[in-house]
Structure 1
Amino acid sequence: MFSFLKKQEILTDNNLYSPIQGEFLDLEKVNDPVFSEKAMGDGFAIQPSGDELVVSPVAGEVTMVAGTKHAIGIHMPNGLDILLHLGLDTVNMSDSPFNINIKVGSVVSAGQGLGTMNLEKINSAGFDTTVMVIITNMNILKTLTTNDDRYQAGEKVGEVIVN
């Protein structure tokens, strides 16, 4: 009767998906030591090409959207916390290149559109467009597997197994 009052159920999915169209990049090759040295956690990166659509790399609940829209946190049903980070140092851009359409508390499906990032605006301002998917609570991660390939937004990149 009051189904609109029920919290939306999140389907458990241990897969990781590409958040944007582009080429897989090992974190070690990201041009920022915070990510390449895995100071924030492990994961993968995508070097965007073409389409500017940003999708959720996992199913879960949105726990954080940075005021500048360059970073989004998502909590997966398996307990993992994911940070989706759009570009390098893009937090310092005076004119935001991001149009993000979700908010904290939103339940998202893997591959669901979150918004867009203006790649041309980021490149023109001299910033790096690399998109990172980071597992921030590594203590519960048992294994992470990824596949080096070229991806469309929403295509499966890898899988996680928790302790």
Structure 2
Amino acid sequence: MFSFFKKQENSQIQEILTDNNLYSPIQGDFLSLEKVNDPVFSEKAMGDGFAIQPTEDQLIVSPVAGEVTMVAGTKHAIGIHMANGLDILLHLGLDTVNMGGSPFNINIKVGDTVSAGQHLGIMNLEEISGAGYETTVMVIVTNMDVLETLTTNDGSYQAGEKVGTVTVKQ
């Protein structure tokens, strides 16, 4: 019986080590970073990646497999370190830092290991829109010196669906 759990744990570790895919963190439509209504993201000052314009779903899932390295006190941003060495920033909404965390219910903490597509929390889209902020969700590679290639595909996505892939420099 115990060997079954060990095998399951090893399988999860192997997935995290080999998954170089990027997944949609929320249900919505693909948006290139250049079209994000914030120059920090559209000019790629934070790094390269993609955005999703949420439609109806408020469920937030991990866009990658890795270790949680940061959860902002205002819960609007989450950092995840991938086994391949890439650091990913999941940024929830534009200027939502000003909301003090009220529209977010995040259920992970620094040090947690997450699988791609794993539930991270809830984002209240109505509260964000009602406060005059945009709900755009960004997935950003922040350590560009490690990134070799990033490919993404346009389209509409469910939370957890594959959007693209990354490779790292050797």
Taking every aligned residue pair, what percent have the same amino acid on both sides?
A: 80
C-alpha distance in 1 between matches for 2:40 and 2:101: 24
Contact 1:13 1:59 in 2 (8 A): yes
Quickly say closer, same or farther: Cα 1:13–1:159, change in 2 above 3 A.
same
Contact 2:17 2:84 in 1 (8 A): no
Unaligned runs of 5+ in 1: none
Q: CA deviation at 1:94?
A: 4.6
Matched residue, 1:138: 144
Matched residue, 1:17: 23
Matched residue, 1:42: 48
3-state SS in 2 of match to 1:139: coil
Quickly say closer, same or farther: Cα 1:101–1:141, change in 2 above 3 A.
same
Q: CA deviation at 1:54?
A: 0.1
Unaligned runs of 5+ in 2: none
Contact 1:12 1:59 in 2 (8 A): no
After the TM superposition, which residues 58-73 of structure 1 pair with which residues of structure 2 at under 5 Å, given as runs?
A: 58-73=64-79
Q: CA deviation at 1:96?
A: 1.2
3-state SS in 1 of match to 2:127: helix
Question: What TM-score do you get using the length of structure 1 for normalisation?
Answer: 0.94
Please give the root-mean-square deviation of Cα atoms over the aligned residues, in Å: 1.6
Contact 1:21 1:48 in 2 (8 A): yes
Matched residue, 1:53: 59
Question: What TM-score do you get using the length of structure 2 for normalisation?
Answer: 0.90
Question: Which of 79, 86, 89 is the matching residue for 2:92?
Answer: 86
C-alpha distance in 2 between matches for 1:58 and 1:20: 13
Q: CA deviation at 1:116?
A: 0.4
Amino acid at match of 2:25: P
Q: CA deviation at 1:160?
A: 0.2
Matched residue, 1:97: 103
Higher helix share: 2
Question: Which of 127, 150, 163 is the matching residue for 2:133?
Answer: 127
C-alpha distance after superposition, 1:35-90 (max 9, x if no partner): 00000000000000111000000000000000010000000000000000000000
Contact 2:50 2:138 in 1 (8 A): yes
**Number of matched residues?**
160
C-alpha distance in 1 between matches for 2:148 and 2:76: 28
Q: CA deviation at 1:95?
A: 6.1
Contact 1:141 1:161 in 2 (8 A): yes
Quickly say closer, same or farther: Cα 1:109–1:126, change in 2 above 3 A.
same
